[in-house]
Amino acid sequence: MDGGLTTVTRERMLSGGSDGLRLQEPRSRLRADVPDDRAIAYRVSLREVFDGLRALIGQVSGLLILAQARRGRDLRDMPTIAVARERWREAVETLGRLDPPADRAADRERLRLAADHIDAVLARIDRMRGGLTDPDIMDAARHLTAAYRLLQSICDHSIGLAMVDLRDACCCCGRTLGFEGAGT
């Protein structure tokens, strides 16, 4: 048994149908096609960190725009700042547990650097008094841009690591990749 499925049933599902001939595919090939448990756990955690940091970049960027638009308003009063800090903590905790395969070890370091850049911006917002100045905002934008580029460097659309999330848009129509139609 394997997760409640018999080996035959599991292979039937993996082969995509009930065609008896497909069940004759070499087991080694099937196993090569299917990630092992460690790889799956890694991808799930990686996605969690990636999505969290990506959302933080957008969230904090938006706050900086609003800070510029609403001169003098203290960003520390905005409830989303507390949420951002909490999300950052969660992402870093998950990052600490990340156990990448050897060929993906660089991912973890890039994510760590991205998290550091975001932390620098959040810390600056925490320290500010009387609103952010333009140089403050530009410096924050540089950190966020660096974080964005780091995330971009590990994008892998085959496992949903993408800077634009279109997975659940109407345009996606329940499909992930290789379909026609894009969000508008």
Partner 1 sequence: MTQYSIWVLEYAYVTKFHRSGVLYGAHNQGYLKLPYCYTVIKGNGHVAMVDVGYNDKDYGKAIADGLGVKNWHSPRTVLAEIGLRPEDVDTIFISHAHFDHFGNVEDFPRATFYIQEREIAKWVWAMSLPERMRFVLSGIDPGDILRGVELACNRRLVCVDGDCEDVLPGIDLHAAPDTHTWGSMWIAVRNDGRRESQDVWVLAGDLAYQFENLGDSGAGGAPDGMFIPVGLAVGSQMNLIATTEQMVKQVGNETRRVIPIHEERLRDRFPSRITDKGLRITEICLAGGVRSLVA
Angle, CA of 54, 58 and 63, to the nearest 5°: 145
Identity at 176, one-letter amino acid code:
T
CB of 110 to partner 1, least distance (A): 16
- In the chain, what are the helix, strand and coil shares in percent, each to the nearest 5? 70, 0, 30
CB of 74 to partner 1, least distance (A): 15
Separation of alpha carbons 44 and 67, rounded Å: 34
Options 118, 125, 140, 150; binder of partner 1; rule CB under 8 A: 140
CB of 17 to partner 1, least distance (A): 24
Separation of alpha carbons 46 and 40, rounded Å: 10
Options 12, 39, 59, 112; binder of partner 1; rule CB under 8 A: 59
The contact set with partner 1 (CB under 8 A) reads 48, 51-52, 54-59, 61-66, 68-69, 80, 83-84, 87, 134, 137-138, 140-141, 144-145, 148, 152, 155, 157, 162-173, 176-184
